[in-house]
A = this chain, B = another copy of it.
Amino acid sequence: MSELEALFLQTLTSQLRALDQFGTWAKKSDEELLCEKYVKSKEDLKNIPIIADIDEMQIQDIRLIFQSIALAFELKTGVMCSVVMEMSHEGFGRAVVLAEKIVVTNKFFKDAHRYSFRTYDDLVKEGGKMLHSALEIFEQYHLKVG
C-alpha cells in the first residue's frame, strides 16, 4: 500500500468512526466497516435498481470519501480544502474538492445510489489515485501562480 493510499484510508476510517455515536461499530475492524459501507459485489449490484432514489445516509457516505480526500490533502500540503457536493434525489450529481482557487478533484454521478467498489482493494486504490491526482493538479497550478 502506498503512502497516499494509507493516508486516505486513515482519514476515511477516522471520519467514519467519528460518526459512530453509539459504538455500534466498535467491534468491527476498519476493513469490515469500510467493506460494509463501500464495497458491493456484482451480485449485490444486480439487486439494486438502475433507477432509484438515493437516501441521505448514502449521500453522507459518498460525501465522506471526498472529505477524506480533502482532509488527506490538507495533511499532506497544509492547504485548507473544502468539498462542495450537489446531489439530486435521483442520484445525479457532482462532487468537487477545492483547494484555494483550484478544483483538485471533480466527480460526476449518474447513479450515485449504486456508487461502490467491487473490492476493498479497489476502494483503497481509487482513494490513493484521487489523492495523487489532486496533489498533481494543485502543484501544476499553484507553482506557477503562487
A residues near B (Cβ < 8 Å) are 84-86, 94, 96, 98, 101-104, 106, 137, 140-141, 144-145
Contact = CB atoms under 8 A, between A and B. Distances in A.
A33 to B, nearest CB: 26
Nearest to A140: B145
Counting every copy of the chain, the complex holds 2
Contacts of A96: 84, 96, 98
A137 to B, nearest CB: 6
Contact of A141 (B84, B85, B94, B141): B141
A86 B141 CA distance: 25
A107 to B, nearest CB: 11
Given A84-B94, A86-B86, A101 B145 contact: no
